[in-house]
Each structure stands twice: as C-alpha cells, then as structure tokens.
Structure 1
Amino acid sequence: MADAAIRVDEALPTEPAPAPRPQPAPQAMPTPVLTKGLLFGYFAMVFGMFMAILDIQIVSSSLSEIQAGLSVSADEIAWVQTSYLIAEVIMIPFSGYLSRLLSTRVLFVISAASFTLASVGCAMSSSLDSMIVMRALQGFLGGAMIPTVFASTYMIFPREKMASATVIIGLVATLAPTVGPTLGGYLTQLMSWHWLFLVNVIPGIFVCLTVGALVDIDKPNYALFKGFDYVGLGALALFLGSLEYVLEEGTRNDWFNDETIRNFAIATAIGAVLFFWRSFTSKNPIVDLKAFRNRNFATGCLFSLTLGIGLYGLVYLLPLFLARVRGLNSLQIGEIMFVTGMTQFLTAPAAGILARKVDPRPVLAFGFALLAASTWSMTRLTGDWQFDELLWPQIMRGAALMFAIVPINVIALGTLPPNELKNASGLYNLTRNLGGAFGLAGINTVMTDRTAFHWNRLVDSINPGRWEVQQYMDQIAGMFGDRLPAEPMQVAIKMLGNKVQGQAYIMSFIDVFFILSLIFAAAALAVAFAQRPKQQQAGGGGH
C-alpha cells in the first residue's frame, strides 16, 4: 500500500501550484534624483513659503497705517487679517488633496502666482471691501505653499541630508513671524503701506519661474477628479472658517454674549460633524485622517499646536507691550524684535547637528523648557523695560524656538511613508496655525479679564484718606495750579486713574506670561511620554 501511494504521488504533475494572487500595493511615490537644479528649485519653494508666512506679521505690524489709508475704523481694519487667516486655514489641509491631484510642481506654481497677483490687488485696493476680497484670495490661494514645502522636504532629501533640510524649513517657519514686524516697520516708515504687498511681486515671479522649471518630483493623479467630495470640502470650509472667525473675533465681541459669535460657534459644530463624517465614510475624502493612526505623528501635532501658541502668541505680546506701554512705533518695535530672529539664525546650525546626532526627544524637552524660562523671566516685567531688559528673554526665546521646531518636524513627519506625506503635511501645519489662533484668543481673553480684575483691586486700595494717596494728589494738583481751566484736583484724579490703568495693564501681561510658562513647562514634561521615532528611509538622491 505504501509503494502504491508512492507511485500515485510520483504520477502527479510536478509543476508547483499557482501562488495566490498578490494584493495590489499602494502606489509608490516616485524617487527623485537630488540634482543641483532640483536643490535650487527646492530653495525657491522654501523662499515662497517664507513669503506666505511673513505676510501675516508684516501686515499686522502696520495695520494702523493701512487703516488710515483706507479711512476705516479700528474694528473694520481687523478684517484685513481675519479674512486672510480664515481663507488660509481652509486651504492648508485641503492642499494635500490638491497636491496629489495636480502634482507638487503645478500646485505650488499656481499657489505662488495667485499669491503674487493677489498681493498686487491688495496694494491697489482703495476700499475695505476690495482689500478684504484680495486678502482672502491671497490667503486661500497662497496657503498651499507652506504644507507643500514640508511634504517635499521628506520626499526629496535622502536620510543623511534630512536633518539639514529640516533645520532650513524650521528656521523659515519660525523666523518669518519674528522678522515680520521689523520688515513691516521699515517698509511703512520709509515708503508706504502699499509696499507691504508690492514687496512680494518680484520674489513671487522668481519663485514661479524657478519652481516651474526645476521641480518635478511627482506626477498628477487626475483620477481624483472622479468622485470629488464637494460636501466634504464645504464642511471643511464651514468648520475651519467658522472656528477661525470665533477665535479671531470672540474677544472683541464678548464671546458668546454676542449673537454673531454664537451663530458661528453653532456653524463650527455643524461643520465639524459633517467634516469628520465625510472624512471617515467617503471613498476619496478631502482630508484623509489616517495619518493620526501613527502615534509619532499624533504626538508631533500636539507639540506643534503648543509651539504655535508660543510662536504667534509671543510675537503678538511683545509688540503689544512696546506699542501701548512704551509708546514705540513699528520701526522701533521691529529693531527690538530683531534680536529673536538673529538668535534663531545663529542657533540653527546647533539645532541641525543635534537633530542629526541624538534622540530628538531630549532636544525638544530642552526647547520647551528654555521657552518656559524665557516667559518666566518676563513675569518681572515693569513699565520701564526696554531693549536691555528684553535682551535675554528674546535670546532664550529665539534659541528655544529652533530647538523645539526641528525635533517636532522629525517626530511628526519623519516616520510617515512617502504616500502619506502630502496629506499629513497639511494636517501638521494646520495644528500650528490653530495653536496660534487658540493662543491669541486665549491671550486676549486673559488680558481683558485680568486687566479688569487688577483695576478693581488697585482702585479698592486707593483710599483718598490714606496719607500716600493724598500726598500724590496734592503734588499733582500743585504742579498745574491755575495753568489749566479745569480744577487741578480733577486733573490729579484723572492722572491717578491713568496710572492705575497702566499698572493693571502691566499686571495682566505678567499673568499671561505666567500662564504661558506653565504651558511650556508642561509640554517639556510631556515629551517623556513620546516614543523615539524610528526613521523611515527617505527618498531623494536616488537612494
């Protein structure tokens, strides 16, 4: 029986059984060769990103000049910034889909060209309505440049050159908001506010021509036109646009006591529900949220959100103090703020070396700890502080930003597969912008509430029966005597009220810096819970 079994087995066909049909693998991203031309084109893209980020701060430092030129009120001129930010925050996550649809080169050239044309439109605006439309177009159409550069960095460079490239985009992302007030002050003082926008024209043309000629790292996927999720796009715009409006206008309009803010908050909730529903159910979602399954990416986005609070919040706070308390103009403020930018530039090589040599988590913890030390040193603020007193806090802040953003980039984007980079880059940059929006809204709210709190406490302590108060009032009244038509004592009371208001305002600054110190210190401690990133093999250079 055994021999028969053997003979039967030998009679069977000797060809191996057909292997099971392999499942189709995800479409691989092309691996570009890192030539000198591609490298030059990449630096042109980085310069375009610098323009887009710079445009926010360069305009905010000179809003009063634009307000005078357009003859509008202080509340109305705020829409010059709000319209830009709302439009930009919608485009940033949408850019990943557009990049896959059109290719990196086509999307970036369209974005840079539109940004440049809209800049000309802003400079030519003679009314608030036309300015708001042009700023919205500038923010929306130009907003794709920022996430596209981040994604391209991880597509182009080989692993051994990734650290240096990450330092470059980190330096640009943090340096542009810092030098914005400086450049804006020079342009408005030496020429006019129109040059805040016209300064983009020649660089914009250069960026468009260079990127169009030299950058070709992927191919378009026009199949994405089929089944385009219009509902998802509308939900994204409703969600993020309404959220940005609530955050920008909430403090000015007393938050939910204002009917318009309440309506936009409801719109935010409705848009969020629709957006997340479409993101999880659509075959071709406008924004693919699968990248958040990667723990490093999710953790990096949380750190990016925190860094956004520091980056945009501190760039807002210091000029506010220098303008309202010290009475400096935009040019003088820019000269003081330049210290932070110079420090970032000088510490960038050290940040690059550390990113290449060591675990990024201790570097990130050091960056957040140094940022906390910088804001903590500002809790000793007085109304007399100027360049000398602000020197070391600014030096610490500049170094901290570089030591934080480079490892955050590595943690968030350095471990993702190439086919997820474009979409993930938009989400990653969105978190930094939202961190800035949440930070500014929180800062303004705390400033308003704490100024009123300190005012009430100081007023309660100013008893006219106290000898010190009476002596101050008599001294002020005696200084004016009969030289004023009003009663000298009334003038003294008004001056005392202004002094109390100024002290309450400075104390509210101290409270904000104290809260920010706690946030950054908590972020430094939270780094211990992050995983050490295991680097994916990067593309580029034929590797």
Structure 2
Amino acid sequence: MSPVAQLTQGQKIFAFASMCLGMFIALLDIQIVSASLRDIGGGLSAGADDTAWVQTAYLIAEIVVIPLSGWLSRVFSTRWLFAASAAGFTLTSLLCGMAWDIRSIIIFRALQGFLGGSMIPMVFTTSFVFFQGKQRVISAATVGAIASLAPTLGPTLGGWITDNYSWHWLFFINLIPGTFVTFAVPALVNIDEPDLSLLKKGDWLGITLIALFLGCLEYTLEEGPRWNWLEDSTIRITAWVSAIAGVLFVWRGLNAEHPVVDLRALKDRNFALGCFFSFVTGIGLFGTIYLTPLFLGRVEGYSAFQIGKAIFSTGLFQIMCIPLYSFLATRVDLRWLLMAGLALFTVSMFEFTPITHDWSGRELLFPQALRGMAQQFAVAPTVTLTLGGLAPARLKFASGLFNLMRNLGGALGIAGCATVLNDRTNLHFSRLAEHLTPANETMNSLWPDLSSVSEASQAAVSQLWQLTLREAQTLTFSDAFFCIMLAFAVTTVMVPLMRKVQPPQGPSADAH
C-alpha cells in the first residue's frame, strides 16, 4: 500500500492545508512590500531606485526557481524539498527583518525568493496526488484562490503592518507559519522518494540557460520602464542575453534526453492553451495590483493603509465566490466557467476605464468586486483544465512551467503598465497643456496678466501645472486598464479551443 493510501482523509486535508499555507506566504511576499517601499527606503536611508530592488530581487529569484522545482522535487522528494524551502524561506525572512542597509535586504530578499519559490508549484502537484474526482475540483479551487488572493491581499496587509508597527514586521510575520510548515509537511507528505542519482545526469546546461533567460528577462521587464528600455546600455545587454539564452534553452529543452523543464508538454493542446491563459491571467492579476495602489497613492494621496483598505474588496469578493465556484465546478463544464471568469475580468477592466481624479474606495468597489469574482472563476478552472489531463509522471515538470507562465505574465503586465504610464502621461499632459494658453478664455478669467512674474502668478501657474499633471495621470491609468481589457477580451474567445476535461478519477499515487 502506498504512503498516500495509508493516510486518512483528515490527514490528507491537514497535509494539503499545511502546504497551502507555505504557498500562501511565498506568494504574499511578492506584493507585501509594494505599498511600503517608501518606509523601507526611509528606514534604510536608501533612494527610490535602490529600494525598488527589494521587490525586484525577490521576483527574479522566484521566477528562476519555479520551473526548476519539478526536477528538484525528483532529486530530493516533494516533502524534503518543501520542508527545506519552508525552512530557508523562514530563515531569510528573519534576516530581511534584521537587515541593516539596503544591500543586505536586497541579498536576503533574493535568497528568500529563491528558497521559497519551490513551494508554489509543488502544491499544485500534490493536490492531484492526494485527491480524486470532485475533491480535485475543490482542491483546484483552493489552490487557484490562493494563487490570485495572496498577491491581492499583499498591499493591504503590508500597509496595515507598516502603519501600525514597522516595516520589519512585513518579514517577521512569516516566522510562525514558516516554522509550522517546516515541521508539518515532512510528517505527512510522503508521496515520492528522493533520487540523488539524478544530480549526476542533471541537465546543468539547461539549468544555466533557463537561469540566464529568466533572470535577465525579469530584470529587463522590471527595470526597462524606468530606463527607457533599449536606450539604456544595461537593458540592451540583458535583453540580448535573455533572447539568446531563451532560444538556446528551447532548443535544449526539445532535444535533451532529460530536460530540466518538459517543453514537450506544450504539444498537449489543453496544456499549451492553459499556459497561455495563465500568462494572461498573470498580466491582469499583477497589472491591476500594480495600477490600483499607484493610482490611489499618486492621484489621491492615500497612505499605505488607506490603499490597503480601498483594494481589500477584491479579496473579499473572491473569498465569497469560492463556495459558488465549488458548487458549479462539479455540475458545469469547466470551460464555460473559465470563459465566464475571463469575460467578467474583461467587464471589470471596462468598469475601470471611466476613472476620474476623485475616485475613492467607494467608486472602486464595484469594478474591484467584479475583479475578485473574476479571479476565482478564471484561475481555478485553468488549473484543472491544464494539469488535470496530464500523466502523473509529467505533472511535476508541467506544474513548474504552468506557474512560471503566470509569473512571467505578471512581470510583463507590470512592465507594460509602467511603460504606458510613462509614455501616455507625457502625451496627455502635452495635449491638455495645448489648451492652457493666455489665448484661452478660461485662462484669461483666472489671471488678468499671465506675463507678470508676481508670486501670485507663479503660484497659480504651479497649481495649474499640478492639476494638469493629475488629469494627465488619471487619463493614463484609464488607458492602462483599457489595454488589460483588450488582452482579456481576446483570451475569452479562445476558451472553446480547449478540450473538455472530466473531473478525473485519476491513477493511484503509486503511479506518481
């Protein structure tokens, strides 16, 4: 009898919940610092450019290790890799909270992302080993909810912690759950055995290529908007390295006998489409998490905690939709639930487009509520449709690639939104400024003589400049939401291309 078969249903649920907790804190830490970077920079006497690396370093390290998790779990086994990841994540969280300067926290954040990133895809894999039939649908709903809910709640929780305690506690809160996961998972999660012999025949060239490809790509996407993309020499170098390494990695993945990432899984239509849907969902999920706090901070002048309160409704409505999704998922074709979720996300982005400078949490409530519901119905069915039809032997590698696509979509979404904000703000400001001339009747009614250099005139012109910039920024945020809306509208009509997947009864865990 396999170790999984010896577990009671309660033990399986407890083990799965423990792994979900590890996944939650790993995903939460992507965005938990986003609303508090100014406080971290102030506490460590660092500028805005350096402080941005507190988030960038974590993202780069995590995005590199996620696709490697399938191979690493075969080498060390799922339970010991998960335990080591949780232990490393917990230790580096402690070091982040104790950081003494900006360099130290950047190094510790990179280690935190790399050591904790493996926990994310392993939860997807284990859910298909522990549960069959309708229980898989519920477990997929849970995993999907965590995958989109944790980053959404990050700014809210981070803002509250920073306002009420200090930025150090953004990291110290991981210590108790991280320690619990470190000891709970190896006690119950015994679904495979380590195979250290794989280290000798590991695809080390493939590992090097994927690290260069993803690391340089993430750096290019994160830093590109700030340095005007290819006009900066460093961005040009990382872009070229990423492109060359990416091509070589794909060649290696398709030709190596034991590739580190199973690109051949993309031959399966559902898996290929599911990875694309995961990519677009990442654009929407991380793009909106980036845009909404930025709008409230720049245009409305909200504090970190006020931003957190204003966007909390997204997570609340997503949680409320979990029981409804679980009920429908066992009765309705998952493709139509996915299509409904993507369509609802499209509508929610459309509801963001009429945004004005006086929008607050009240005006944001309805579009954010739609987005929260959309996230649940867009992410959860994608998990089942994409991974549910794969053989257990391929599931580990495929899960890493599937999760990678969501994070890559998030990186591209944030970079794209940042570029739109930079370029379109200048355009809108120029167009608005064209009408703010002495020949304009409204201007003449405001100041009799704009040519004077009195302090009153200078103050009035300065105030007008600020108002024009505010309106230009508001129009730009509307443009960014519109771009995300278009991406989801196109994706929605592609859902019927997927094959129907029945809630699988699945092979036994021995096959894994």
TM-score normalised by structure 2 residue count:
0.96
Letter in 1 for 2:122: T
User: In structure 1, what is the Cα distance between the partners aligned to 2:169 and 2:475?
Assistant: 37
User: Cα distance, 1:274 vs. partner?
Assistant: 2.5
Name the residue aligned to 1:419: 393
Code of the residue aligned with 1:90 in structure 2: it is V
The question of 1:359 aligning with 2:347 is answered no
The one-letter amino acid of 2:307's match is I
One-letter code aligned to 2:429 = W
- Does residue 255 of the first structure (1) align with residue 229 of the second (2)? yes
Which residue of 474, 481, 484 maps to 1:513?
481
Deviation (angstroms), 1:474? 5.0
Kept in 2, the 8 Å contact 1:49–1:145? The answer is: yes
Per-residue Cα deviation, 1:229-251 (whole angstroms, up to 9, x for no partner): 22111111100000000000000
> Would you say the 8 A contact 1:310–1:436 is kept in 2?
yes
Structure-1 residue corresponding to 2:18: 44
| Paired amino acid for 2:22 | G
Q: 1:498 aligns with which of 453, 458, 466?
A: 466
Residue identity matched to 2:58: Y
For residues 454-475 of structure 1, what are the alpha-carbon distances to aligned partners after superposition, in whole Å with 9 as ceiling and x for unaligned? 1111111222112111112359
| 8 Å Cα contact 1:34-1:157 kept in structure 2 | no
**CA–CA distance in structure 1, aligned partners of residues 311 and 441 of structure 2:** 42
Query: What's the secondary structure of 1:59's corresponding residue?
Result: coil
Q: What does the per-residue CA deviation read over 1:304-343, in whole Å, with 9 as the maximum and x for residues that have no partner?
A: 0010011111111111111111111011111111111110
Tell me, yes or no, if the aligned pair for 2:129 and 2:509 is still in contact at 8 Å. no
One-letter amino acid of the structure 2 residue matched with residue 515 of structure 1? C
Letter paired with 1:289: L
Aligned residue pairs total 509
Q: Map residues 189-338 of structure 1 onto 2, 5 A cutoff.
A: 189-338=163-312
Alignment correspondent of 1:449: 423
Q: Which runs of 5+ in 1 are unaligned?
A: 1-28
Which structure's CA Rg is the greater one? Answer: 1
Tell me how far 1:270 sits from its aligned partner: 2.0
Answer yes or no: is the 8 Å Cα contact 1:32–1:217 preserved in 2: no
Alpha-carbon shift at residue 278 of structure 1 (Å) = 2.1
Give how far 1:486 is off. 5.3
Kept after mapping to 1: 8 A contact 2:330/2:503: no
In the superposition, relative to structure 1, how do residues 31 and 298 fare at CA in structure 2: closer, same or farther (>3 Å)? farther
Query: SS of 2:137's equivalent?
Result: helix
Residue 57 of structure 2 corresponds to 83
3-state SS of paired residue (2:146)? helix
Residue 177 (structure 1) aligned with residue 151 (structure 2): yes
> Matched residues in 1 for 2:479 and 2:228: separation?
20
**Range moving further from structure 2, 427-436 or 375-384:** 375-384
Pair 1:98–1:541, CA change in 2 (3 A): closer
Q: Deviations over 1:65-118 (max 9, x none)?
A: 100011011011111111111110110000000011111101100000000001
Identity over aligned residues, as a percent?
47
Q: RMSD value over aligned CA atoms? A: 1.9
Residues 34 and 540 in structure 1, CA contact (< 8 A), matched pair in contact too? no
Work out which of the residue numbers 126, 133, 138 in structure 1 matches 2:100.
Answer: 126
User: 1:159 deviation in Å?
Assistant: 1.6
Letter in 2 for 1:43: A
| Structure 1 residues 206 and 375, CA gap change in structure 2 (3 angstroms) | same
Distance 2:389 2:449 in 1: 68
Residues 1:435 and 2:409 aligned together: yes
Q: How big is each residue's C-alpha offset from its partner over 1:484-538, in whole Å with a ceiling of 9 and x where there is no partner?
A: x952111111111111111111010111111211111111111122222255432
Deviation string, structure 1 residues 324-382 (Cα, Å, up to 9, x no partner): 11111011111111111110110011111222211111111111111111111111111
Q: TM-score, normalised by structure 1?
A: 0.91
C-alpha contact (below 8 Å) 1:307/1:405 kept by paired residues: yes
Aligned partners of 2:187 and 2:289: how far apart in 1?
Answer: 36
2:496 alignment partner, one of 528, 532, 538: 528
| Structure 1, 299-308 or 281-290: larger mean CA deviation | 281-290
2:342 to 368, 373, 376: 368
What residue in structure 1 maps to residue 457 of structure 2? 489
3-state SS of paired residue (1:136):
helix
Change (3 A) 1:32 1:282: farther
CA contact (8 A) 1:157 1:541 kept: no
Query: Cα deviations across residues 262-311 of structure 1 (Å, max 9, x unaligned)?
Result: 00011102211221232123222211212112111111110000100111
**Whole-angstrom distance in 2 between the partners of 1:83 and 1:30:** 38
User: Structure 1: how far apart are the matches of 2:106 and 2:115?
Assistant: 14
* 1:111 alignment partner in structure 2: 85
CA contact (8 A) 2:92 2:108 kept: yes
Per-residue deviation at 1:387? 1.8
Q: Mean Cα displacement is larger for which, 92-101 or 172-181?
A: 172-181
- Indicate the residue corresponding to 1:397 in structure 2: 371
Cα drift, residue 411 of structure 1: 1.1
Task: State the alpha-carbon separation in 2 of the partners of residues 266 and 539 from structure 1.
Answer: 44
CA 1:51–1:468: 2 relative to 1, 3 Å: same
**Aligned residue in 2 for 1:93:** 67
- In structure 2, the residue matched to 1:339 is 313
**Which deviates the most, 228-237 or 323-332?**
228-237
Query: Given the superposition, is the C-alpha separation of residues 225 and 488 from structure 1 closer, same or farther in structure 2, using an over 3 Å criterion?
Result: same
